[in-house]
Amino acid sequence: MIDYIGIRKILEEKTGLAKFNSGKTNIISYCPWCELDSTKNHGHLYLECIDNQNQMPVFHCFKCEDVNKSKGTLVKLLRYLRIDPRKYISEDILNSKSSERNYDYYKKSLTVHKHKINTQNFDLYRLKKQYIISRLGYEYNIDRIPRLIFNIREFLRENKIDLKDKNRFIDYYEKSFIGFVSDDGTMMILRNIDNNSPYRYVKLALVENKNFFKDLYTIKSGQTKKGSNTIILCEGIFDLLVAINNIELQEVKNKSCIWASVLGCGYMNAISSALDRCKLTSSNVIILSDRDKNENYYWKIKKHPSVLNLEVNWNKYNKDFGKLPIGLIKKYF
């Protein structure tokens, strides 16, 4: 059995519009890939409504299916919207051959990969320690930085991680980079301690399969409280580490529940990931923006269905928040 009435309601909640066609053979909604900012009275995503116990319903978007791959089974659509399929699809249909592969993939895509991280011997890596201090200050407690890796070679060996075509660079990584393992353990972000090198960052995949939610690098900053939840987003890891203890942002820190580096600039998917980590369905969002992103870039984010209020800050003294001093230029959307 499939609860199409419940699916229509949750699609309407998540996208802004969802309705049955006249014959109730399809649910038509805004597409979560391309129409979250739509103001039209119709959507382009069609989900078929069938009761065949041996067949999983499929959907596709007439507008962007070739560009965004917005087509597939109902399971794919629900997990994209971070919804557990078991809430709306009975076990017999989920366990049928037609949907078994998709549901197994859904479960695997939520895996948190735990890696062994040994205690870091900072005395053996004085240049790396000095780099951290130069970025964060002498008073910063390096031991409290989550999943910080100095001994990159040992980390890869202990966890039996094969970098494949990048194995030949391990000695270079060991000598010149510090690493940060992401929350779900799918990747390690390397930062070159030589500021003059053209190769400033390297992103290493630690597992073969990508998770459904965008992986982040986060620090919890408080408890979630009904009606007063705020998540803080920024692009880079040092944006997070520098800003979270800066006096200019203490007011922001006091009202937030999590700070997250999106490990790039994919804010739309990062919002869903951060909310999932806090077990929230919606929240206020504050972004610590790089200077190369102007106001127009953020209007689409304001229309994300889980964003209550959006505040964007730029650092008026530097190109981002990864370097002191910090002074805030605020914009409310």
The per-residue pLDDT for range 312-332, each reduced to its tens digit, is 999 999 999 999 999 999 999
Q: Mark whether 134 and 101 lie in a shared domain.
A: no
How far apart are the C-alpha atoms of 240 and 302, rounded to whole Å? 21
Q: Do 11 and 29 touch, CB atoms closer than 8 A?
A: yes
| DSSP code, position 80 | H
Q: Mark whether 53 and 102 lie in a shared domain.
A: yes
Is-cis flag, bond preceding 198, omega within 30? no
Q: Do 106 and 88 touch, CB atoms closer than 8 A?
A: no
Q: Mark whether 104 and 28 lie in a shared domain.
A: yes
Tell me if 86 is assigned to some domain.
Answer: yes
Please give the backbone phi and psi of residue 259, each rounded to the nearest 5 degrees, phi first: -115, 135
Average pLDDT of the segment spanning 60-67: 80
Read off the tokens for 230.
């705020």
Tell me if 194 is assigned to some domain.
Answer: yes
Average pLDDT of the segment spanning 6-16: 93
Domain containing residue 273: CATH number: 3.40.1360
Q: Mark whether 136 and 78 lie in a shared domain.
A: no
pLDDT band at 225 (very low <50, low <70, confident <90, very high): low
| pLDDT on residue 310 | 96
Burial of 154 (0-12, 13-18, 19+ CB in 10 A): middle
Q: Mark whether 226 and 305 lie in a shared domain.
A: yes
| pLDDT on residue 221 | 82
3-state secondary structure (DSSP) of residue 78: helix
| pLDDT on residue 300 | 83
How many residues are given for the chain? 333
Tell me if 142 is assigned to some domain.
Answer: yes
Q: Do 235 and 290 touch, CB atoms closer than 8 A?
A: yes
Average pLDDT of the segment spanning 286-300: 91
Q: Mark whether 150 and 92 lie in a shared domain.
A: no
Average pLDDT of the segment spanning 59-83: 83
| DSSP code, position 85 | G
3-state secondary structure (DSSP) of residue 61: strand
Q: Do 31 and 63 touch, CB atoms closer than 8 A?
A: yes
pLDDT at 163 over 90: yes
Q: Mark whether 237 and 306 lie in a shared domain.
A: yes
Residue at token pair 């060991």: 174
Q: What angle do CA 183, 123, 133 make, to 5 degrees?
A: 60
100-110 pLDDT per residue, tens: 445 455 455 55
Tell me if 13 is assigned to some domain.
Answer: yes
pLDDT at 98 over 60: no
Tell me if 294 is assigned to some domain.
Answer: yes
| pLDDT on residue 277 | 84
| pLDDT on residue 281 | 73
Q: Mark whether 15 and 78 lie in a shared domain.
A: yes
How far apart are the C-alpha atoms of 293 and 184, rounded to whole Å? 27
Tell me if 113 is assigned to some domain.
Answer: no
Q: Mark whether 165 and 188 lie in a shared domain.
A: yes
Q: Which of 205, 236, 269 is the last residue of a domain?
A: 205
Tell me if 211 is assigned to some domain.
Answer: no
pLDDT band at 210 (very low <50, low <70, confident <90, very high): low
Burial of 52 (0-12, 13-18, 19+ CB in 10 A): exposed
What is the CB neighbour count within 10 angstroms for residue 125?
18
Q: Mark whether 229 and 179 lie in a shared domain.
A: no
How far apart are the C-alpha atoms of 255 and 45, rounded to whole Å? 37
Q: Do 55 and 74 touch, CB atoms closer than 8 A?
A: no
Tell me if 161 is assigned to some domain.
Answer: yes
| pLDDT on residue 101 | 47
Q: What is the pTM of this model?
A: 0.70
Q: Mark whether 81 and 142 lie in a shared domain.
A: no
Q: Which of 183, 205, 227 is the last residue of a domain?
A: 205
Q: Mark whether 69 and 141 lie in a shared domain.
A: no
3-state secondary structure (DSSP) of residue 324: coil
How far apart are the C-alpha atoms of 18 and 46, rounded to whole Å? 10
| pLDDT on residue 206 | 95
- Number of structural domains (the chain) is 3
Domain enclosing residue 263, as ranges: 217-332
Q: Which of 54, 73, 108 is the last residue of a domain?
A: 108
**pLDDT: which is higher, 326 or 139:** 326
Residue at token pair 């190769």: 199
Average pLDDT of the segment spanning 147-174: 95
Q: Which of 66-70, 125-129, 143-147, 158-162 has the lowest mean pLDDT?
A: 66-70
Q: How far is CA 7 from the centre of its chain?
A: 24
Read off the tokens for 42.
């119709």
| pLDDT on residue 54 | 67
- Pair type for strands 283-289 and 230-234: parallel
Average pLDDT of the segment spanning 302-311: 87
